[in-house]
Structure 1
Amino acid sequence: MKHITAFILFFITAFTVNAQLDPVKWTTEVEKISDTEYNLIYNAKIDNHWHVYSQTLPEGGAIPTEFFYQEDVLNKDFELVGKAVESESITEFDKVFQMELSYFDNAATFTQKIKVTNPNISSIEAEISFQACDDTKCIFESEIVTFQLKEEKQSKIFDPVKWTSSIKKLNDTDYELVYTATLEDKWHIYSQNNTEPMGPIPTEITFKDNENKDYKTIGKLKESQTITKYENAFAMDVTYFEKQAIFTQKIQVLNPAIKKIEAEAYYQACDDEKCLAPTTFQFINNLDGSQGLVETLAIDPQDLEKSRALSLGVTGWDKYKKEDVKEETNFGIFVLGFIGGLIALLTPCVFPMIPLTVSFFTKSAENSQKGLANAIIYGLFILIIYVLLSLPFHFLDSLNPEILNTISTNVTLNIIFFLILGFFAFSFFGFYEITLPASWGNKMDETSSRIGGFIGIFFMALTLAIVSFSCTGPILGSLLAGSLTSDGGAMQLTAGMSGFGLALALPFTLFAMFPKWLNSLPKSGGWLNSVKVVLGFLELGMAFKFLSNADLVKHWGLLKREVFIGIWIIIGIGLLLYLLGKIKFPHDSPLKKLSFSRISFAVLVGAFVIYLIPGLTNTKYANLKLLSGFPPPLPYSLYEKDSDCPLGLNCYKDIDQGLAAAKEENKPIMLDFTGWACVNCRKMEEQVWSQDAIYQILKDEYIIVSLYVDDRKELPKEEQFKFVKANGNLKNIRTIGDKWATLQTLNFQNNSQPFYVLVNDKMELLNHTTAYTPSADQYLEWLKEGLENFKK
């Protein structure tokens, strides 16, 4: 499985520089709010051209800023109140990480509110974990800071805003909610209508926990009288409240069973000299009219304990340089797209169009140069059209990068791809045609004739794309499925579409430049339909790969390795019989004799079927190395295996069990972060681990702990919990995969697979971490070095 996170890790590690580089300076302040409540304020001063990142970032991108506190005092001597509030950030599309990211330039402020439960505590130690980047490099740093709670120079009481709330019943379904802020003299908060990006933070009232649509708001949030005045601090007119601010919102209850309405106020308070960090205030209003309450988000102690248990406390990072992960390019998918385009040229929907279209351009133009120019423009428009088809996926990717990057383990989408490719396969067999409405093609053709010029040529290219869809659609569907189930996402799809469009466009340009070449083209005939049928068999084989992905992740047991290979053998035999003329499909022409090319291809297919046959056995020959990553892994078998681990090695699927075994046997541990649907994981196991020297060292010298991050099997109810992130956010841990994926990200700041870590039973690193390493020699040296460091 190719991961976009490998690309990200490259920028985090390959460009990591030495410790002399210090672009971010941190200072701290303590703000006393009451006898038991404080604001811990982190101030970052950032060098020019550098920036640090927000606490909230999409997964698979840059590393967010996080704050960690001593485990022995957190929730014992003090508690975090909500999450840290950060100053205004900049959100832009980052070319390095290929996604929208929020970051800070020049300065950043993070404010964490705490409640002290031990009156004797005098200081709090915290660790700041952050990534800083400029245009050429990134560093990942952590810094320990101390907050002195008892030092009066730092402790100032600022609590200028007091909130209350009430609810009024208007009729059987409608209510009016009123939120009132009472302000101390000289202090004010800002109107919700302040929208200037560089202005003050407007007050917002947001309603929570309404996923079931139990109620809806009526109209906009109304606010009491405001003052608009020019403020030097913001160099603009701002609108704010003095003394008091009242916000009123009408709602309509849709579910009579609900008892309360929860809301949250987000606001910033300022006086003539200073502004406090933005903060939140939470309300609960009972529909029966009883007193409105304030509720602080509580963290279940058991969730906190289980969250802490995922932290392995790995040490030794300073001893080993992190592995340089080379940047993945999209050239491979571009080449595959190009090959797909060449294949599409050989289908009956496209091939006959080449001489007709080229002849039109060369004969209808005023001169040969004009005809050549029109043909080149025609080819360019074909390329542009197919590239444009990938653009909507960039929009989806920007909304939620994970929507594309996690498709490879999404059961529903893999089943959908299986059904689509199967549907495409039978259309290639000729049982039905997949076509776009004929009116579309007619309309495009009519438009191109009427308009003429460049625009007319564009519509001619669009006409080709529409009328050839019955042949190109299934190939594009395979390209779409293959691209989006690799973690390259939308960029990989664009590369594939570019290759496809280029291959489709080239003949129209080349034959226009060299018209005599048209005489060398083979004549259209029944061979074109044969190409379609062959493609149908290939589509059918690929369809079962996606069904296999879903089966592996859910452990249904439908497509064990031997069943999958058996299906491929049956498909291969069907293709062989077709090539030899033993079976026919609806649109096939009579086969008078077997051509040399047909016989040659039949020999290749027959050899492939023979190669697959040992995969049905329970012998050492069952490891089909050339197909690693396509069939299910060797342990996922119909045969009873001594081990359900790769290659029959001994391994543990739980880190605690592996740790206990390592202590008992006095062996080092190899943490193997893997996935059921991970192609590169299978390649490593079946091509690299299977080498004799590597197999022996893994078998005899290491305790292997294989953690499947995409395992969708639910944990027992008593083991499920909400993981508490450093910024206070919660993540549901429901499945085995949730647990191991979180453990990997938390301890190693990496979420790509395969990912390998060598440690001892004290969780001390024995070597640098590594990922996909197709060189067996290089991987063996890595294992040997880890073993030597363990013995030392």
Structure 2
Amino acid sequence: MRTFLTSLIAGLALLFNTSATYAQDATFVKTSYNVLSDGNVELVFDVQISDGWYMYSATPVKGGPMTANFDLSADTPAQPQGAMVDGTEAHTKFDSAFGLEVYYFEGNGQFRQIITPSAEGNFTVQGTLVYQTCNGEECLINENDITVNVKMAGAEVVEAPKAKKSKDESLLWFLLIAFAAGLGGVITPCVFPMIPMTVGFLIGGAPSKRSGIMKGLVFGLSVVLIYTLLGLIVSLFGSTAATDALGTHWIPNLLFAALFIVFSISFLGAFEITLPSGLANKADRQADKGGYIGAFFVAVAMVIVSFSCTGPFVGSILAAAVVGGVTLKPILGMAVFGAAFSLPFVVCSFFPGMMKKLPKSGGWLNVVKVVFAFVLMAFAVKFLYNVDAYFGWGIITRLGFLAIWITLVVLLGLYFLGVIRTDHDSPVDGIGWGRMLVAIACFSFAFYLIPGLFGAPLKSVSGMIPPMDGSTTVVSAPVGNGETTAPSGYSALKSYNTLDEAMKASEESGKPLFITFKSHTCSVCKVMEATVLNDPTILSRLSSDFVVANLYVDDKTPDAEYKTLGRKFRQYEMEKFGSASQPLYAVIDHTGKILSGPVGNSSVEEFGAFLNF
């Protein structure tokens, strides 16, 4: 009788615990749709979030939390047009767990997803709205199955939404950077000394001033055309998805890193990079014919000869262009770059007297070259980190990354002070105000980066450097089966990512199984691991007395029954422990019997008591 009462009470407790858990995040989702003037359909998800909770938005943050997304079912006769976006403006805050600014909704929010029907007529949309909510103590990954019957016939047509302002601003900034890069290419040692000679060729022998101006225009348009063709080739590589892959795949990142390293070494004076001389010679022979055709081939020769200095600028623009966004980005970027690059030549052909006001060539051009060398090396480290993060090697850690950047910035500051010089530098007879200001800027930036070595978030450069949550981040590979080993602390413990193997290890060792339900994007999970689980006492107990299993509820590894392992773990968590929150910790034996817990966010003392069952 006593055993029966105990079991009854335990069962009721689990039942009430389950009800309470499912009621914790009372998020309500209302779905509607708009038939757009371009034939597409816009799905609108209005969400109401219970008090004390917040929901991460659909705005992606690299290295940040899981963004809300809509998975369209394969049974739906439609195709999604891009990713789901925020329908209302999200709040922003600095999340210390990620060391980043994150976007979130409180109270209510809205998401929008545009889809293109595969056929005419009415159809049914089926899919899953996936989002993450947190309350400071725990996080939940929610999956709401959505079914919407779309009636196309007779529906009120809504004007198709325009591109979001943020995208326009992003493209505008990209084009401004491309324009600045074009002007930067002009003040390199390979190009700047050629301005008088090139302009002299264009206007020399012209029968009239108007003819000289027209030849200058032909030269400028030819330069734009040549660089635009280069952008077109990159753009024709494939679709937007293909350019997205270019931006994240290890091969282009490694190529850009190698390109920048080679050019930086060249800029420091180790060797010269030139295209085959035959190309330049052929262009020169055609340019000698004069006229507008000659102006075109002068432009061709200029592009070829200046490649050793403009190559890094072109590579940088193309590298930025292929990272998602607009398919025409490489074309637009190269056209703007070419326009800025040719602008000084065209202006001087219009007003030849301006050439007298140009600064004379000299040692300052080599200074520009050395500055570019250091900048290129800094960006090469960024591309190498992307390769490292793609494979999850952990070779380029946040600490190492910052150490390299600090070293480069300090060396650049010393260079401007004349402490270090290259073989091609002219002697420095004193430090002018310009050099002093640049040196101050370099050392100030170095001092700003130094606290990052000890855990400071460095928010202003957080998008460029490795995230704070660990030494590295795996950006491509899903969590796989079997054992995993990580750098330090709790994450260094021998652990399992599948329940079956963890239970087998528990049976073989005779140790109880410590289970963690978490997600890669759970901020509370990160805080718990950094504080409680890394406590020396807790860490010692887990290391010596338990078999450890880390079950990621957002694991994308395919599963025959549940589609993904993450769904399988979430279902197990709900059925076994009556909870759907993360983090959740429990201790079971190899048969699945609960020995202690479950518990969620806890203090060190509470967690120690949980382990002392």
TM-score, length-scaled by structure 1: 0.44
Which amino acid in 1 is paired with 2:295?
I
The structure that is strand-richer by fraction is 1
Q: Find the counterpart in structure 2 of residue 624 from structure 1.
A: 458
C-alpha change, 1:338 and 1:574, in structure 2 (3 Å) is: same
Q: Find the counterpart in structure 2 of residue 518 from structure 1.
A: 355
Q: Find the counterpart in structure 2 of residue 552 from structure 1.
A: 389
Cα distance in 1 for residues equivalent to 2:310 and 2:382? 21
The answer to whether 1:539 aligns with 2:376 is yes
Q: Find the counterpart in structure 1 of residue 435 from structure 2.
A: 598
Cα distance in 2 for residues equivalent to 1:470 and 1:22? 50
Pick the aligned partner of 2:307 from 456, 464, 469: 469
Which amino acid in 2 is paired with 1:362?
I
The answer to whether 1:67 aligns with 2:102 is no
SS for the counterpart of 2:466 is coil
C-alpha change, 1:567 and 1:449, in structure 2 (3 Å) is: same
Provide the aligned C-alpha RMSD in A.
4.7
Pick the aligned partner of 1:353 from 173, 194, 215: 194
Contact 2:388 / 2:395 at 8 angstroms: preserved in 1? Answer: yes
- Deviation string, structure 1 residues 191-229 (Cα, Å, up to 9, x no partner): xxxxxxxxxxxxxxxxxxxxxxxxxxxxxxxxxxxxxxx
C-alpha change, 1:64 and 1:575, in structure 2 (3 Å) is: same
The answer to whether 1:635 aligns with 2:469 is yes
Cα distance in 1 for residues equivalent to 2:192 and 2:328? 29
Superposed displacement of residue 18, structure 1 = 7.1
Superposed displacement of residue 21, structure 1 = 4.7
Cα distance in 1 for residues equivalent to 2:189 and 2:292? 27
Pick the aligned partner of 2:209 from 341, 346, 368: 368
Superposed displacement of residue 406, structure 1 = 1.9
SS for the counterpart of 1:131 is strand
Superposed displacement of residue 523, structure 1 = 0.2
Residues 382-401 of structure 1 aligned to structure 2 (within 5 Å): 382-398=223-239, 401=240
Cα distance in 1 for residues equivalent to 2:553 and 2:196? 53
Pick the aligned partner of 2:367 from 530, 547, 558: 530
Q: Find the counterpart in structure 1 of residue 259 from structure 2.
A: 420
Cα distance in 2 for residues equivalent to 1:708 and 1:520? 66
Contact 2:283 / 2:297 at 8 angstroms: preserved in 1? Answer: yes
SS for the counterpart of 2:328 is helix
The answer to whether 1:563 aligns with 2:400 is yes
Contact 2:410 / 2:443 at 8 angstroms: preserved in 1? Answer: yes
C-alpha change, 1:51 and 1:599, in structure 2 (3 Å) is: closer
SS for the counterpart of 2:395 is coil
The answer to whether 1:381 aligns with 2:222 is yes
Contact 1:64 / 1:131 at 8 angstroms: preserved in 2? Answer: no
Residues 41-80 of structure 1 aligned to structure 2 (within 5 Å): 50=39, 66-67=74-75
Superposed displacement of residue 441, structure 1 = 0.7
Task: Count residues with an aligned counterpart.
Answer: 394
SS for the counterpart of 1:571 is helix
User: Structure 2: which 5+ residue stretches go unaligned?
Assistant: 1-30, 42-69, 83-113, 127-140, 150-160, 473-485, 492-496, 499-517, 524-549, 571-578, 582-613
Percent identical among aligned pairs is 33
The answer to whether 1:341 aligns with 2:182 is yes
Q: Find the counterpart in structure 2 of residue 459 from structure 1.
A: 297
Residues 140-155 of structure 1 aligned to structure 2 (within 5 Å): 142=124
User: Structure 1: which 5+ residue stretches go unaligned?
Assistant: 1-16, 24-48, 53-61, 69-83, 87-93, 98-128, 145-309, 645-652, 655-668, 675-704, 726-732, 744-759, 763-792
Cα distance in 2 for residues equivalent to 1:66 and 1:331? 36
Pick the aligned partner of 2:247 from 408, 416, 431: 408
C-alpha change, 1:22 and 1:671, in structure 2 (3 Å) is: farther
Cα distance in 1 for residues equivalent to 2:205 and 2:73? 64
C-alpha change, 1:383 and 1:20, in structure 2 (3 Å) is: closer
Which amino acid in 2 is paired with 1:377?
V
- Deviation string, structure 1 residues 435-475 (Cα, Å, up to 9, x no partner): 1011111110101222x332221111000000111100122
- Deviation string, structure 1 residues 304-341 (Cα, Å, up to 9, x no partner): xxxxxx993445999xxx99955623222111111111
Which amino acid in 2 is paired with 1:142?
T
Q: Find the counterpart in structure 2 of residue 615 from structure 1.
A: 452
Which amino acid in 1 is paired with 2:173?
G
SS for the counterpart of 1:415 is helix
Which amino acid in 2 is paired with 1:461?
A
SS for the counterpart of 1:610 is helix
C-alpha change, 1:640 and 1:51, in structure 2 (3 Å) is: closer
Contact 1:66 / 1:130 at 8 angstroms: preserved in 2? Answer: no
Superposed displacement of residue 537, structure 1 = 0.4
SS for the counterpart of 2:75 is strand
Contact 2:124 / 2:148 at 8 angstroms: preserved in 1? Answer: no
Cα distance in 2 for residues equivalent to 1:493 and 1:416? 17
Superposed displacement of residue 407, structure 1 = 2.8
Contact 2:265 / 2:271 at 8 angstroms: preserved in 1? Answer: yes
The answer to whether 1:131 aligns with 2:116 is yes
- Structure number with larger C-alpha Rg: 1
Q: Find the counterpart in structure 1 of residue 47 from structure 2.
A: none
SS for the counterpart of 2:207 is coil
Cα distance in 2 for residues equivalent to 1:355 and 1:427? 25
Cα distance in 1 for residues equivalent to 2:552 and 2:238? 28
C-alpha change, 1:643 and 1:383, in structure 2 (3 Å) is: farther
SS for the counterpart of 1:589 is coil
Cα distance in 2 for residues equivalent to 1:441 and 1:587? 25
Cα distance in 2 for residues equivalent to 1:368 and 1:20? 59
Superposed displacement of residue 724, structure 1 = 11
Superposed displacement of residue 397, structure 1 = 1.4
Contact 1:383 / 1:501 at 8 angstroms: preserved in 2? Answer: yes
Cα distance in 2 for residues equivalent to 1:706 and 1:501? 52
Superposed displacement of residue 502, structure 1 = 1.3
Q: Find the counterpart in structure 1 of residue 575 from structure 2.
A: none
Cα distance in 2 for residues equivalent to 1:406 and 1:457? 39
Cα distance in 2 for residues equivalent to 1:140 and 1:591? 77
Which amino acid in 1 is paired with 2:395?
L
Q: Find the counterpart in structure 2 of residue 236 from structure 1.
A: none
Contact 1:424 / 1:474 at 8 angstroms: preserved in 2? Answer: yes
Contact 2:231 / 2:333 at 8 angstroms: preserved in 1? Answer: no
Residues 50-449 of structure 1 aligned to structure 2 (within 5 Å): 50=39, 66-67=74-75, 131-132=116-117, 142=124, 312-314=143-145, 326=165, 328-329=167-168, 330-398=171-239, 401-449=240-288
SS for the counterpart of 2:315 is helix
- Deviation string, structure 1 residues 574-609 (Cα, Å, up to 9, x no partner): 111221222222322232333332222111111111
SS for the counterpart of 1:389 is helix
Which amino acid in 2 is paired with 1:493?
P
The structure that is helix-richer by fraction is 2
C-alpha change, 1:130 and 1:590, in structure 2 (3 Å) is: closer
C-alpha change, 1:562 and 1:360, in structure 2 (3 Å) is: same
Cα distance in 2 for residues equivalent to 1:390 and 1:326? 25
Cα distance in 1 for residues equivalent to 2:225 and 2:281? 21
C-alpha change, 1:389 and 1:324, in structure 2 (3 Å) is: closer
Q: Find the counterpart in structure 1 of residue 545 from structure 2.
A: none
Which amino acid in 2 is paired with 1:460?
V
Which amino acid in 2 is paired with 1:396?
F
Superposed displacement of residue 402, structure 1 = 2.8
- Deviation string, structure 1 residues 409-459 (Cα, Å, up to 9, x no partner): 322332232222111111111101111011111110101222x33222111
C-alpha change, 1:361 and 1:130, in structure 2 (3 Å) is: closer
Structure with bigger RCO (C-alpha 8 Å, 6+ apart): 2
C-alpha change, 1:317 and 1:328, in structure 2 (3 Å) is: farther
Q: Find the counterpart in structure 1 of residue 57 from structure 2.
A: none
Superposed displacement of residue 761, structure 1 = 5.5
Cα distance in 2 for residues equivalent to 1:537 and 1:625? 22
Structure 1 consecutive aligned stretches of length 4 or more whose deviation exceeds 6 Å: 62-65, 138-141, 638-644, 705-709, 722-725
- Deviation string, structure 1 residues 727-760 (Cα, Å, up to 9, x no partner): xxxxxx8xx9xx89xx9xxxxxxxxxxxxxxxx9
Cα distance in 1 for residues equivalent to 2:204 and 2:297? 19
Q: Find the counterpart in structure 2 of residue 576 from structure 1.
A: 413
